[in-house]
Every structure is written in C-alpha cells, then in structure tokens.
Amino acid sequence: MSSKTAIVVGRGPAGMLSTSYLLQRGYQVTVLAESDGSLGMWPGDFSFGRTTDAFQAFPIELSSAEWSQAFGELVALYRSFGVTLVLPQAQDIPHTVTAIGNMRPTFATPNWQYASSEPESLVFVGIDGLADSIVGAQAATYRRRSGCEAYEVSLSRPPGWDSSWGTIRFAAYLDGDAGASWLAATLREALRGVPSGIPVVLPQVIGLEHTEKLLTQLSEVGKRSVSEFPLLSPSIGGVRVRDRWERLLRQQGVRFVSGRVREVQPVPRALLTDGRSFEADCLLLASGGVLGGGMQVTVDGAIVDELVNREVGRMDHLDALDAHGHREIDCLGGGRVLAVGRAMGGWNPNRDHNGGAMLLATVRTALGMCEEVDR
Amino acid sequence: MRVVVIGAGATGLGVAWDLVLRGIETTVVEAQEIGSGTSGRFHGLLHSGGRYLVTDPSAAKECYEENMLLREIANEAVVATGGYFVKKYGDDDAFEARWLNQAADLGVPVHAEKVGDLRAELGMLTESIQRSYWVPDGVLEGFKMLSMLVRAIQSRGSNVLEHTKAVKLRLAGERVNGVEVQAPEGTRVLDCDAVVNTAGPWAGLVARDWGLDVKVQPSYGLMLIFANRRLDKVVNRLKSPSDGDIFVPHQEVVILGTTDVAQPSPEAPEPRRSEAIRLMALGSELIPDLGSWRVLRGFNGVRPLYEPSGVTGDSRKVSRDFAVLDHGERDGLAGAFSVLGGKWTTFRLMGETLGDQLVASFNVDSPSRSREVPIGVEVKRPAPVVKDDRGALLCECEQVYESDIKPTVSSPMQLRFGTWFSMGPCQGTFCAHRVLGRGDEDGFADELATLRREREHGLTVVGWGANARLIALEQSISAQSLGEER
Amino acid sequence: MKRFEYEDACIKCSLCVTACPVYRVDQQFPGPKALGPDWYRHYQAGEAKPMEHVSDCTFCQLCESACPVDVPIAHLIAVHKELASQSPRLAVRDYLLTHPQWLAMVPSLVKLPKQLGVPLGISSSTQWPAPSPLQRSRRHRTHQRQGSATRRIGIFVDCFTRGFDSETLLAASAVLEELGYTAVPLPSASHCCGAAAYASGLLGEAERTARSTHRAVRRMTSGLEAVVTLNATCDDTLRVEWPRYFGLTIPVPILPFVDFVLDRANPGFFERIHGLPGQELIYTHATCRSKVARGEGSLFALMERVSERPPQILEISCCGAAGSYAFKTEHTKVARALGHRAKEVMGEPGIILTDSGTCAIHLQELTGCQTIHPARWLHGQLKRQEVLR
C-alpha cells in the first residue's frame, strides 16, 4: 500500500470530479461528507457563462487549449459511468427549454436533455398529475420567446397514480415495464395529428436507470427526436449522474465516510465532530458554497467557512455576493490543502451560469498543484 | 339610513358589522383588498390587556373585555392559547409591582406561575427568569375573522367592495349625502347619509381629502415569522412595552414582534436586515437558542396611531387607545366620522362606539347588538371525498392541490386569501410556477416574477442559516431549471 | 427525550426523497419529506392526524444522511409512527419483535411463524432465524480465554446476536484474540440498545431500554480500550442516538467490528488470510445504518485486503430486512421488493458478507447465497489456514 493518499471533503460535483481525477492519477481516495451533496439538485449539465463567452475562466485563467483538453477529459469521464455528454460545436451555444418555457444556454449536456442552437418548433408534452407540468403556460412562453410554433399535448395520469406522486415516483414508475409501455402507448396516441418530424420534449422523468433506452425506443417508434427538459429540484438528471458516478467510485475502491468535518488542519488532516481523524498526502476541500453548506451565513450577515475558520465575505446585499469571498487556492499546508469548486468562494451556484467553468478550472489547477508539491 | 365605510380592515368591517346589526344599510369600500393594510400585517395577538396595564390602562381594560367577548361571539377565529409574562433577573421590580397592582385594579386576571413549571412547559425559555405570570392572552386569526365578518355583513344584505377607492364626498349644504368612488368598472356615486373613515394609517390622508386636519401617526413595526410553531403559548417580557419582547404562536408559525418606528407614510416600508438582526438579538434575551430557529421571512406592518395633540415622533408613547371623531361637531362637516387608532383586539368596541355616536347624531334610538350576536361560522371549502380527485399536490408546505385553485382566479392575492400557497417554508420556490402556471397563461411570466421578487425581499432580510441555503437553492432553480434571467 | 434540533430547517429540496429506498418500490408511500418535516410542522401546530403508510418507513435513515440542512427526518417520522395508532394485536407483536432475545429463549415460538402469523401479524413468507442462544458452557469458554492477551476491549452483545447468532460472537472474539485483544462480552445479561423499539415508533420503550442497557454497559467499561459492535445499527444507536436523543454517553470509543479490524490489524494478519486458494466470489453489503453512521467502503476495503478474488459491492440500497421490519406481515411485500434487487445485481453466485444478522437472513433467502457476518468469514479463513498449515 505505497500509493499516495488523498482526502476529499464533500461529495457534490466538485468533490466527485476531484475524486475521479485523483483516482486517475493513482491516489487512494477517502471522501468525507456529511450529506449526499448537491448533484441531485441540478440537472446534471455543465453551464459555462451567460453569453457567448463559453470559455470564460473563473476565477482561474486557462488557455483555450487547456479548456479543450479539460472538456475532452470530462466527456471521457462521463462516458466511463455511462452518460454521454454533448459539447457545442464552434461558437454556437445551444439552448435547452425550461419547465416554464424559457430558453437557457447549456454547455456540456447529457444527451437525454433537449438542446439546440437554433430555435425550432417543438411539441411540449405535459403529464396530468405531475405537479411541475404546466404545458399551457410553458408552450405560450416558448412561442413568445422563440417565435416558433409550440404544440401542446397532455398525457393522462398513469394507472395507480395518486396525488403524492412527485418526479422521482414518475421516474421510478417509467423505469419499470408497466410504466414504459404506458408511456409508449399514451404518447403515440397523444401525438396523433401533430405534424410528423417535429421534435418532442418531455418533462425530465423518463426513468432513472433506463433513460437512454426509453428515449431511443420512443424516438424510433414516433420517428422523431424525443428528449427531456429539466424540472425543479430534485433534478432527475442530477440524480442519474450522481447514482451512476458514485457507483463507479465505490467499485473503484473509494471510501465514502459519513460525518461532519469539524476542522481542517495543514498536516493535512481532517477532524470529524465524532472524534475521528483522517490524514493523507493531500486534501481537497470541495465543501461547496452556501447551497452546498461549505459556507455558512451567520445572523449578522458574515459568510464563513468554518472548516478553515475564515470569513470570506458579507451578505449585505444579494447582488454583491458573487464577487465576494475568493480566497487563495492553497489556503493551508503549503499546497497540500486545496479548495476547489464553490469552496473557492463562489457564493451561489449558477447565478451567472458559470458553475461548470469554476469546477473544471479549480479542480484541474488543484491537481496540478498537488503534483507540484509531490515533486 | 345608509352609511359608506372607507377601508375594509378590522376597523372598517367592525364598524360595518355593528351598523348592519342596527339595521343600517352599509357599504364598505376598499381601495385595495380586504385586510391588505395593517389588519393583514400584525402578529396575531389577542390582547389580554397585560401588555398595556401600566402604560395604557384604558386600552388594557378594553382589550381584556373584548378578548373575553370575542371568545363568545367569534370563537372560530380565536385560539385561547393563554400567555405568560416573564420577568428576568435585573428587570425593573417597581414595574412588576405596578403591573400587578394595575391588574388587580382593572380586573385583568393574572396568576403567578412557578418558574420551574414554566420552564418544564416551555423549555426553550432562558434560565434567567425570575418570576412568571399567566394571563388570558390568545391568538386572533386575522384573515379568518375578516372573512367571517365579510360573510356576516353580506348575509345581511350589505356590501363590501374591493378595488374601490373613495375619491370625493358629495355634499348637500354642509351635510354629506354621497361618496364618489373609483372602481375598475368606472366612477360612480354611492348615496349615503353618513360616511366613516376607517382607513387605518391612510385615515389622515382620507381626512385631508375632505379638507380636514387629523393627526394620524403611522408607525411601522418589523415582525419575524419563524417556520415552525416551536412554542404554543404567547410569551411577553414583563417590562415596559418595547421592541422584540413578544412571541405569538400563529397556526404553523411563531411570530416575534416588533419594532416601533414613526414614519410619515402609511405604506409599509421594505424590511431591513439590520432591524431583523436587532430583533433577533432582543428575542434571544427570552429564547437563547433563537439563532437556530428557522426564520421564514420578515415583514413590516404599519400601526395607525392617533395622537390628538399632534405628531410626537416617539410612537411608543402614543396611546394604543382609539378615538371616534364626529366631524360634524368637530369641523362642521355633518355626517362624516373618523375612527382612529386602536387595536385589532378592540375592533368590535370601536364599531360599537362609532355606531352609538352615529345614531345619536341622527337622533335615532338603535342600540348596538354586536355584543351579543355571534359573528358566525366560516364556511370551509368542502374537501373532495376521493383523495385523488384533488389532482396533483402543487404546494407541499401548505398542502394546496390542483382542485383548490380551480376555477381559475385572477390575482395571486385572491389565491392567497383562499390558500396559503407560497407562504410556507419554501416561500414559493417550488409552488409559485406550478400554481401560477395553471392560472391565466398570458400574465403568467409577469405574475411569477412579481411574486418571486416579493418573496425574495422577505427572505433576504432573514437570509442566514438554512434560509441562506434556501435563497441559494431558489436562485439556482430559477437560473438552471426555470431559466429565469434576473 | 431531548428536543430536536433543526426540525424546521427543511428547504424542500427533496434530496431525501431521492435517497429513500421504500419510495422507489412502494407507489403508495408518501416519502420522507411528507412524513417527516412536512407532517411534523403541522403536528407542532396541533394537527396531529397521522398519515397512511407511515409505518412503512424502514427507519434506514438514508434520508437524514441525504439532507443538506440536518433535519432529523427519520426521527421526526418515528414521532409520527408513535402517533399512528396500532391495533392491540399488532402492538403486542411489535413489542415482542423488539425483544428478539426473549423469542430466542422460547424456541418453539419462532418455529411456528405460520401458526402465529395470522393472529399476530407476523410474516409467514419471511424466513425465521434458528435460535442459537449463547450457551452457558460457551459463555464459560469465552471467559476462560481471558488473560491470554493483555489489551481488553468490550464486545457489545446485541439482542439478536445473543438470541440467534452466537456463532458470530464467538467468531468475532476469536478474530479479536488473534489481533491481540481480549474480548469482554457486554452487557453480561440480556440487553438491547433500543433500536428496534425506536424504529417501530415505540419511543418510550426505546428510551427505557437504552437507559437500562446504558447502566449495565457503563459499569463494565473500566479498563476497556473500546467497545466493538457487531451490528451497524447498534453502532449507530450507541454512538449517535444515545447521546443525541437520550443524553447517554459511553466513556470509551465505540467502533464497528469491521473498522476495528481494518484499523488495528497489522499487515501480517491480512497476508495470512490473503491468498488462501479456492475462495468464492465475495459480495459486500454495507447496511443502511452503517452508511449513515460511518460511511461506505470499510467492509469492501477489508475484503480487498484479505480476499484473493477481488470482492464486489452488492449494489443495492436498503435490503428491506431493516431489523424486525421484514417479519411484519404488512411489510413483507416492500421488504421482498427491496431485497429482490440483490438477486438482480449479482452476476454470479457468491457469498454475501454483511454486519447485520437480519439483513443476512433476508438476503440469504432472497438470493439463495450464503450470507454471513464478516467476522465468521474471517474466522473461517483463519481456521482453514490452521488446517492448511
């Protein structure tokens, strides 16, 4: 057991990415986390920048060659746990449609999610009994925003439905044989009379495990593209990514330790509130921003990272928050304790659609620094 | 006889109810919506009078008597929680002595409670309580009381008109004989023999429109709503009424009140974070662990205090008592009245007092009956027999189903009058687009944006702990899943 | 019972719902958010009406481990369960099932699940364990062994192990002895941590049981380096719930058997076992409560070090056994649906290792593969190695 060891604090997107990349570099990794992380709260795509500036570097500068390489690695990583990521071509930023019919720029997108760089006519499918489904208002908004046609169809409630069904229940139901055949039959019936060839978008509940198979079957039967648009939290897309990614990491021998980290020391060492302590050659702090719990907001408005006992900003006004709290990446231990992702100080995920960029840039930079220290 | 009442808050509806019971045809006009002023923005305390025993004895006595009466005639809108006054070590002993004397003199029942027993019941209270007293405080469910009043008034053939603004008096000589009102469907004149100004904090402005000078002193107070009902009794600090010294359990939540800041405008200002922090610090003097209680939002209400001698600037010192002005006697404008100041708890008494003066001025012998006639039972929406007929669950916090919002209604405020959607722990993060998306499709995006902005204001002032994370989640969802640009 | 913390912190993200095993297989189950924080808020406001299906919760606590804001979701559901009235006959059964050591003392009882099942609500399709109570003679033997090593640790003998699985206790003691420790079984008489009662919503019973066991254990901890638990649920209960909800603490560290071996064994120990020929494929099943309490990967890491063939993780969530859950008629369907996934994910037959006696019975029945405590497997390998040598 002579391999290098690493501790990752947090199992959200930054923690998972760090863990995978550390494994690739030969580290034995222990993940310390109190809860399951925020992957299940977001649709699972990586967003980069509000505008056409897809390669904005935040807060670390990467060259465009480095970005290309980073994206290549990301695509390969997702493929290893069974998710196909689609990247945009050249300077076209594709847009997905949202639960309320807006268009949102998206970047590295799992292929179950609808994305298109040109607005086009769409068929919006609603499901009666799914609370997030507001197909009338959604299609009306889409028409206004895109200037394209939006057809509306509604599927009736599935057999066995009751009013407590949320998105997870629909997804689990559609994963089963009964759900899959209900969907195929109901959708075929509902699309009768809608001009052929127009792409269909469904709420993101098409299974947790068999999504790709289900969507392919629906596309083949209906002879048109069938894909999903993301709903609210819990985001089924994020849950799919989380479940598959964690399964791979477990099989690769990663230890997921449950517990609250009380303090991080430069050694590097992590102390848990229950008295356990963990040491390793390097420690990546992927404890997140305010949403992830890495940053706490106190009653008097201070934004605090309790693990390293630092105030990183103040919450005097919401709009000012994103600019606050960036801290030096090698915060402790001469480059052996490194903060990544939102733990770098980004207060809030995706206010500016740049969470993906921040993740990739900080994790890659941190890993580079780990190797530097080892030399 | 016909009377027009201006303002459909507790005062206006209390006045209308008393007049209606005397057989007087009454029309209440409300510029906005029922209860959208002070009456919809209060902490929910049904006063035992304990709070004003020393500083405002007549208000205290009235509060106690009305409290007991409302339990009889409007039991459905009253929760007899009981309350405690607690004195901490170091709080003024002389104040306590005077308080006890006043209670005995005024007949407000006060029982000493062993501190040990109190802390066994309410373990969250500070250990440094020296003495505690039980009082018959209660909770007044404001929206329920208002809807009961509206129903009772309408059932006796009188009217409550929303979105109807009184713009001008029509006079016959020096006597009022009509009120010109503006409504969505146009301007018209309501014939009447008398008009009553019950516009709360706006009463000074209404009187000014009539060419009169009435010294209303609006003062706003910040209240914090805690997400869960972690406390089920009213708790007051036993000292001179001050900021952040009262907790009121109200349905699923607890409300901490309040600040008291005089201001010229009758409109509630945006809540400020610095004041919320101050209120938390004050509240922690009674509940040390308050910082770990989840605050849902902060909101400001505006008291319509009346100071006959003019504006003093120190609103804590202005009496909580009410006044009825007969502008015929006072200003030579016969048939015009104003009802000023007062408490939610005394709304009925204000109606009775106004009614007595009004009928006396017309030399009519028609005694008040509002003391004995029950205000009536609120009619509940019938629940569907079969569970799944309710449709999908749209608001998980307050259990609002698709069937609860049909048929389509025109404004979010109306929706909220019937349901509590967006008022619960998610503050509209999840339910807002679901509920509004099922309403009017054309105005959907605008309504959604308006509601989110409003919720965000209330949340931001208390954006710490779990709430800060809710704000982050809400923004993340807005940006990612909904694709809303700010 | 102490007051909860953060019962009002729910931000409605629903991550708990994504983690709930029952929600995925039972279409009627309202899920942890509705049964926990949503219900509790209305309960605090005086609306105490319990919801249907609340007792279908397995109390695996995966919801709590998913929660980003520390809401004690499962424990709020336990309060909810307490309020859901149980018919007197099921109440008798629940009480009996929270004391398996009594059942074991009357072996004829558990030989008759079919006859008992109908009147008592005990599942007739779930396999019952064969009683193997700790015999006086065997107990004597473990005591005699004391003194051969100087470092003393306690083994918490939980109610199930005492009644039905003395093999595991003996195996664990033997392995610990091999590592240089004298294992002291504690408490000395029949006791329980109270977890089964808590899971069934019998909160008063859980606290009484915990207090009485705590008194018995505390008396015996002087001179012990640690207390080792054999069952992850007991570990979580002793280490986390006792102090948090009952204010009861044990003055020495509490460690699960697997973690203890992984931390304390020297490389020689692993090497001795590693490389024994003819090993079958090992699947590891981390129980829900061990995931919640300590995390995943210890058992897998231990097996990686001692198994010639690379072990595999049994990729399921809660197996459905959940202590006494699977033995109750009304839960049989959900329990079997959950456990059935194990069969689906297993590529080839093998031996399943898990540190819970009831998970073992359940998984063995549903997969047809031998399922035992890792201590027994390790002990078996040590014995084989002696024979081979």
pLDDT single digits (tens) A193-228: 899 899 999 999 999 999 999 999 999 988 899 999
C3, C8, C46 ranked by CB distance to B294: nearest: C8
Tell me how far apart the alpha carbons of residues B258 and B301 are, in angstroms, rounded to a whole number.
Answer: 9
For residues B304 and B429, state if they share a domain: no
For the domain covering C136-261, report its CATH number: 3.40.50
Contacts of B251 in chain C (CB under 8 A): 45
Nearest to B480 among A43, A133, A161 (CB): A43
Q: Which residues pair with B87 in a beta bridge?
A: B131
Cβ-Cβ contacts under 8 Å, C69 against chain A:
293
Q: Please state which of the ranges A33-37, B428-432, C125-129 shows the lowest mean pLDDT.
A: C125-129
Backbone dihedral region for residue A253 (phi beyond 0: left; psi -120 to 50: alpha; all else: beta)? left
> Is B445–A132 a contact, with Cβ atoms under 8 angstroms apart?
no
Of the residues A11, A29, A32, A41, the best mutation for testing chain C's interface (the one with the most C CB atoms within 10 Å of its CB) is: A41
Phi then psi for residue B220, to 5 deg, are -95, 155
Q: Are C153 and C224 in contact (CB under 8 A)?
A: yes
In this structure, the answer to whether residues B428 and B469 fall within a common structural domain is yes
Give the A window 67-96 contacts with B, CB below 8 Å. 96
Q: With 0-12 CB in 10 A as exposed, 13-18 as middle and 19+ as buried, what is A189? A: exposed
| Cis peptide leading into residue B407 (ω within 30°) | yes
Interface pTM (ipTM) of the complex? 0.90
Of A267-281, B323-337, B368-382, the least confident: B368-382
**Who among A30, A234, A253 is closest to C15 (CB)?**
A234
Q: Looking at residue A342, what is its pLDDT? A: 78
Subunits with at least 3 CB pairs below 8 A relative to chain A? B, C
With respect to residue B104, please indicate whether it lies within any of the assigned structural domains: no
Q: What is the pLDDT of residue A327?
A: 47
Q: Which of B63, B222, B243 is nearest to B138 (CA)?
A: B63
What are the structure tokens assigned to B448, written together? Answer: 């959604």
Q: Do domains C136-261 and C264-388 have the same CATH topology?
A: yes
Question: Which of A30, A168, A255 shows the shortest C-beta gap to C23?
Answer: A168
Query: Given B123, B228, B469, which is nearest C44 (Cβ)?
Result: B228
Chains that touch C (3 or more CB pairs under 8 A): A, B
Q: Which residues of C touch B228 (CB under 8 A)?
A: 7-8, 40-41, 44-45
Asked if B367 and B399 sit in the same domain, the reply is: no
Portion of chain B with pLDDT greater than 70, in percent:
93
Residues of B in CB contact (< 8 Å) with C are 123-124, 226-230, 232, 251-252, 292-294, 396-397, 425-426, 429-430, 465-466, 469-470, 473
Name the closest residue on chain A to residue B294, using Cα atoms.
Answer: A299
What's the Cα-to-Cα distance from B408 to each of B184, B419, B430, C141, rounded to whole Å? 19, 13, 19, 78
**Which residues of chain C approach chain B closer than 8 Å at the C-beta?**
3, 5-13, 33-34, 38, 40-42, 44-46, 68-69
Average pLDDT of chain B, as a whole number? 90
Q: What is the pLDDT of residues C296-320, one digit of tens each?
A: 999 999 999 999 889 999 999 999 9
Whether A295 has a pLDDT exceeding 90, the answer reads no
C3 and B123: CB-CB below 8 Å? Answer: yes
Tokens of B329: 């006697």
pLDDT score for C230: 95
A57 pLDDT more than 50: no
Give the model confidence (pLDDT) of B24-33 as tens digits: 999 999 999 8
**Chain A: residue whose CA lies nearest to C61:** A35
CB atoms inside a 10 Å sphere around CB C119 = 10
Same domain, B406 and B351: no
Q: How many Å lie between the alpha carbon of A140 and the closest alpha carbon of chain C?
A: 27
Q: What residue spans define the domains of chain C? A: 15-83, 136-261, 264-388
Interchain pair B479, A353: CB under 8 A: yes
Query: pLDDT tens digits for B4-25?
Result: 999 999 999 999 999 999 999 9
**pLDDT tens, B192-228?**
999 999 999 999 999 999 999 998 999 999 999 999 9
pLDDT in tens, A70-124: 888 999 999 999 999 988 776 677 889 999 999 888 888 999 999 998 999 999 9
- What pLDDT, on a 0 to 100 scale, did the predictor assign at position C95? 81
Whether residues C27 and A169 touch (CB distance < 8 A) is answered with yes
List the chains bordering chain B where 3 or more Cβ pairs fall under 8 Å.
Answer: A, C
pLDDT tens figures, C237-271: 999 999 999 999 999 999 999 999 999 999 999 98
Lowest-confidence region among A198-207, A327-336, B68-77, C213-222: A327-336
Instruction: Flag whether pLDDT at B93 surpasses 50.
Output: yes
Instruction: Name the band, by pLDDT with cuts 50, 70 and 90, for residue A60.
Output: low
Determine whether the interchain pair C8/B429 forms a contact, defined as Cβ–Cβ distance below 8 Å.
Answer: no
Structure confidence by residue, pLDDT tens digits, C159-200: 888 888 889 999 999 999 999 999 999 887 778 899 999 999
The answer to whether A274 faces chain C, any CB pair under 8 Å, is yes
Q: Yes or no: is domain C264-388 CATH 3.40.50?
A: yes
> Does any CB of chain B come closer than 8 Å to the CB of residue A160?
no
pLDDT score, position A293: 86
pLDDT at A343: 76
Task: Please report which confidence band the pLDDT of residue A325 belongs to, taking 50, 70 and 90 as the band edges.
Answer: very low
pLDDT at A311 over 80: no
Q: Which member of B230, B232, B252 has the closest CB to residue C42?
A: B252
Contact A168 C14 (CB under 8 A): yes
Q: Any idea which of A52-61, A220-229, A253-262, C186-195 has the lowest mean pLDDT?
A: A52-61
A160 near C CB under 8 A = yes
* DSSP 8-state assignment for residue A64: H
CB contact under 8 A, C8 and B230: yes
- The first and second tokens of residue B208, run together, are 């000014």
Q: Is the domain of B301 the same as that of B409?
A: no
Minimal Cβ distance to C291: which of A160, A168, A258: A258
> Which of B391, B445, B479 faces A141 most closely, judged by CB atoms?
B445
How far off is chain A from C107, nearest CA to CA, in Å?
A: 39
- pLDDT > 80? residue A63: no
Top CATH class of A114-229 equals alpha beta
pLDDT level of residue A56 (50, 70, 90 thresholds): very low
Which member of C3, C46, C69 has the closest CB to residue B466?
C69
8 Å CB contact of B473 and A103: no
Q: What is the pLDDT of residues B146-187, one digit of tens each?
A: 999 999 999 999 999 999 999 999 999 999 999 999 999 999
A250 and C300 within 8 Å at the Cβ level: the answer is: yes
pLDDT tier for residue B117 given thresholds of 50, 70 and 90: very high
Residue B154 lies in a domain: yes
Write the CATH number for B296: 3.50.50.60
Q: Which residues contact B4 (CB under 8 A, 6 or more apart)?
A: B26, B27, B28, B29, B166, B179, B190, B192, B194, B195, B196
How does pLDDT run across B126-145, given as a tens digit for each residue?
999 999 999 999 999 998 89
Task: Tell me the chain C residues in contact with residue A289 when contact means C-beta distances shorter than 8 Å.
Answer: none
Q: Assess if residue B106 is contained within a domain.
A: no
Whether residues A166 and C14 touch (CB distance < 8 A) is answered with: yes
Domain count, chain B: 2
Task: Give the confidence band of B436 by pLDDT, cuts at 50, 70, 90.
Answer: confident
> Does some domain include residue B123?
no
Task: Please tell me whether residue A205 adopts helix, strand or coil conformation.
Answer: coil
Tell me what pLDDT residue B224 has.
96
Domain extent for B452: 387-480
Range with top average pLDDT, A60-69, B309-318, B397-406: B397-406
Is B396 close to C3, i.e. CB distance below 8 A? no
> Residue A25 — very low, low, confident or very high, per pLDDT cuts 50/70/90?
very high
Closest CA to A232 of C14, C115, C111, C23: C14
When pLDDT is averaged across residues C119-145 and rounded to a whole number, the result is 62
Q: What is the CA radius of gyration of chain C?
A: 20
Q: pLDDT per residue over B246-304, tens digit each?
A: 999 998 999 998 999 999 999 999 899 899 999 999 999 999 999 989 999 999 999 99
Write down how long chain B is: 486
Burial of B310 (0-12, 13-18, 19+ CB in 10 A): exposed
Closest partner CB to B483 (pick from A41, A104, A351): A104
Average pLDDT, rounded, for chain C: 87
Burial of C333 by CB count in 10 Å (0-12 exposed, 13-18 middle, 19+ buried)? Answer: middle
Q: Which of residues 129-158 of A touch B (CB under 8 A)?
A: 129-134, 136-138, 140-141
Do residues A350 and A13 make contact, with C-beta atoms less than 8 angstroms apart? no
Interchain proximity C297–A254, CB inside 8 Å: yes
Q: What is the number of CB-based contacts under 8 A between chain A and chain B?
A: 136
Per the CB < 8 Å rule, is B479 touching A350? yes
pLDDT for the residue numbered C33: 96
Distance from C-alpha of A361 to C-alpha of A346, rounded to nearest angstrom: 13
Q: Which CATH superfamily is domain A5-44+259-374 in?
A: FAD/NAD(P)-binding domain (3.50.50.60)
Tell whether B115 is covered by a domain. no
A142 contacts in B (CB within 8 Å)?
none
CA B197 to each of CA B1, B36, B41, B354: distance values in angstroms, whole numbers, following the listed order = 17, 16, 20, 11
How confident is the model over B61-73, as a mean pLDDT? 96
What's chain A's average pLDDT?
85
Hey, are the CB atoms on A164 and C34 less than 8 Å from each other?
Answer: yes
- Domain ranges for chain A, please list them: 5-44+259-374, 114-229
Interface test with C, best of B79, B228, B289 (most C CBs within 10 A): B228
- Cα distance from B466 to chain C (closest Cα, Å)? 6
The answer on B172 and B299 residing in a single domain is: yes
Task: Kindly tell me if the per-residue pLDDT of A137 is higher than 70.
Answer: yes
Record: contact A41-C31, CB cut-off 8 A: no
pLDDT at position A314 is: 75
Taking the CA of residue B358 and the nearest CA in chain C, the distance in Å comes to: 42
CB C367 within 8 A of CB C320: no
Contact A35 C298 (CB under 8 A): no
Q: What percent of chain A has pLDDT over 90?
A: 54
CA–CA dist B398, B413 (Å, integer): 16
Which chain C residues are Cβ-neighbours of A233 within 8 angstroms?
Answer: 13-15
Is the pLDDT at A51 greater than 50? The verdict is: no
With a cut of 70, say whether residue C113 has pLDDT above it: no
The pLDDT value recorded for residue C128 is: 72
Of B469, B480, B482, the CB nearest to A290: B469
Per-residue confidence (pLDDT) for residue A347, from 0 to 100: 57
Average pLDDT over residues B413-437: 78
